């Protein structure tokens, strides 16, 4: 069984092939990612129209490279999967139409994949974890705590009431003129900073909620930066280190509360697992803090390899494979979705950045 995955939901043009070996173990046969960082760096963020055009010009070549790396021909794949949402509509259209065209011409099944589900299931590919498990999804567009009960069975326990964590990293980097993408830039600067110099807030820490809020922290950094202006290199490093320390404390606080709730929901699970996924899960300080928190409480901590934390097609192909093996396929009439919640029954999170829409 071999599935071609296509990812074009934001600013990465990616294609990959994932299959199973003779022993049934999953295998990553190819993994091609073409970054658009240079296309967007001058704007300090992703420009949807530029992203869509870049996907359109590169996707055919990226797919060819993925097939070649796998040592296959296109006709050898068993199914074609593509991200159907959530994401930027222009990019999603490019990936979906390409996938549909390939599926139709090859006579192969087509599967539309939820980008959030792909992040959620990556740890099953890399570490073979079993259901249920607790998921901390931290990316540029989403910050959620989810109980993953089974394939297609997700209960969202928390989200952000304003900025997603990745967005907070990007805005902090832009404020401090560190460039784009912001997450890696802030982490690099923080490595040389003093995490105790500034007493930044830990929003909602200690309160009876699992939800997140990062806009107040972002404002605190801006106000401190304005007081210090003009900023020296050490000032920037210290601001980044203190920001990262505040984020670390917030994530640990929410993780502990979520772990307690998970224990109550599945008391018979003797070896529970916390999975961190999404682009921000690549941050080494945050990974280390969550790993220590889990070890102290008898939990297993899993985070995908750094290459599979950000947007990639491996996770899309794997999710398509899991869905296909369950007997599922998608209609060629599937339309791209800018929003596609994992848990449609979760209560709407009202906040300045959500406007009552289910995250």
Highest mean pLDDT among 33-47, 137-151, 343-357: 137-151
The pLDDT score that the predictor gives to residue 67 is 98
- Is the separation of the CB atoms in 139 and 11 below 8 Å? no
Which run of H or E residues covers position 321?
A: helix 314-325
| Eight-class DSSP state of 212 | B
Distance CA 201, CA 218 (A): 10
68: number of Cβ within 10 Å: 12
Q: What are phi and psi of 286, to 5 degrees?
A: -70, -40
Measured CA to CA, the distance from residue 3 to residue 223 in angstroms comes to: 49
Other C-beta atoms within 10 Å of 212: how many?
27
Q: Are the folds of 2-120+310-325 and 131-307 the same?
A: yes
Range of weakest confidence among 34-48, 135-149, 214-228, 284-298: 34-48
For residue 88, what are the CA distances in angstroms to 125, 167, 229, 231, 259?
Answer: 26, 15, 36, 35, 33
The fraction of the chain above a pLDDT of 70, given in percent, is 97
Domain ranges across the chain: 2-120+310-325, 131-307
Helix pair angle (215-228, 165-175), 10° resolution: 10
CATH number of 131-307: 3.30.420.40
Residue 353 has pLDDT above 60, yes or no: no
Residue 151 to residue 323: CA distance in whole angstroms: 8
The answer, yes or no, to whether residue 354 has pLDDT greater than 50, is no
CATH T-level topology, domain 2-120+310-325:
Nucleotidyltransferase; domain 5 (3.30.420)
pLDDT reported for residue 350: 56
Residues 62-114: tens digit of each pLDDT: 999 999 999 999 999 999 999 999 999 999 999 999 999 999 999 999 999 99
pLDDT digits (tens, 9 = 90+) for 170-208: 999 999 999 888 999 999 999 999 999 999 999 998 888
**Cβ atoms of residues 175 and 186 within 8 Å:** no
Please tell me whether the overall predicted TM-score, pTM, comes out greater than 0.85 for this model: yes
Burial of residue 329 (number of CB atoms within 10 Å: 0-12, 13-18, 19+): middle
Sign of CA dihedral 337, 316, 45, 275: positive
């Amino acid at each position: 069984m071999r599935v071609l995955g296509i990812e074009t939901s934001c600013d990465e043009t990616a294609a990959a092939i994932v299959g199973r070996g003779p022993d049934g173990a999953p295998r990553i046969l190819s993994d091609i990612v073409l970054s658009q960082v240079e296309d967007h760096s001058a704007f300090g963020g992703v420009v949807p129209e530029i992203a869509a055009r870049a996907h359109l010009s590169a996707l055919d070549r990226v797919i060819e490279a993925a097939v070649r790396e796998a040592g296959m021909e296109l006709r050898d794949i068993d199914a074609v999967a593509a991200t159907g949402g959530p994401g930027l509509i222009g990019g999603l259209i490019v990936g979906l139409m390409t996938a549909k065209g390939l599926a139709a011409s090859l006579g192969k099944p087509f599967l539309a994949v939820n980008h959030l589900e792909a992040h959620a299931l990556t740890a099953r590919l890399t570490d073979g974890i079993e259901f249920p498990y607790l998921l901390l999804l931290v990316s540029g567009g989403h910050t959620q705590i989810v109980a993953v009960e089974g394939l297609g069975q997700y209960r969202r326990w928390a989200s952000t009431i304003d900025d997603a964590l990745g967005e907070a990293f990007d805005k902090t980097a832009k404020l401090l003129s560190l460039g784009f993408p912001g997450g890696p830039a802030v982490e690099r600067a923080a490595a040389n900073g003093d995490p105790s110099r500034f007493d930044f807030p830990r929003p909602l820490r200690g309160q009876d909620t699992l939800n997140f809020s990062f806009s107040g922290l972002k404002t605190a950094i801006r106000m401190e930066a304005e007081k210090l202006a003009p900023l020296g290199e050490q000032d920037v490093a210290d601001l980044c280190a203190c920001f990262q320390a505040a984020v670390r404390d917030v994530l640990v606080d929410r993780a502990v509360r979520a772990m307690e709730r998970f224990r109550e929901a599945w008391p018979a699970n003797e070896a529970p697992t916390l999975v961190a996924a999404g682009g921000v899960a690549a941050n080494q300080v945050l990974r280390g803090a969550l790993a220590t928190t889990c070890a102290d409480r008898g939990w297993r901590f899993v985070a995908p390899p750094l290459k599979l934390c950000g947007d990639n097609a491996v996770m899309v192909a794997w999710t398509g494979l899991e869905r296909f093996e369950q007997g599922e396929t998608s209609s060629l009439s599937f339309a791209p979705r800018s929003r596609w919640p994992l848990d449609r029954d979760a209560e709407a999170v009202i906040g300045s950045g959500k406007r009552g829409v289910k995250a």
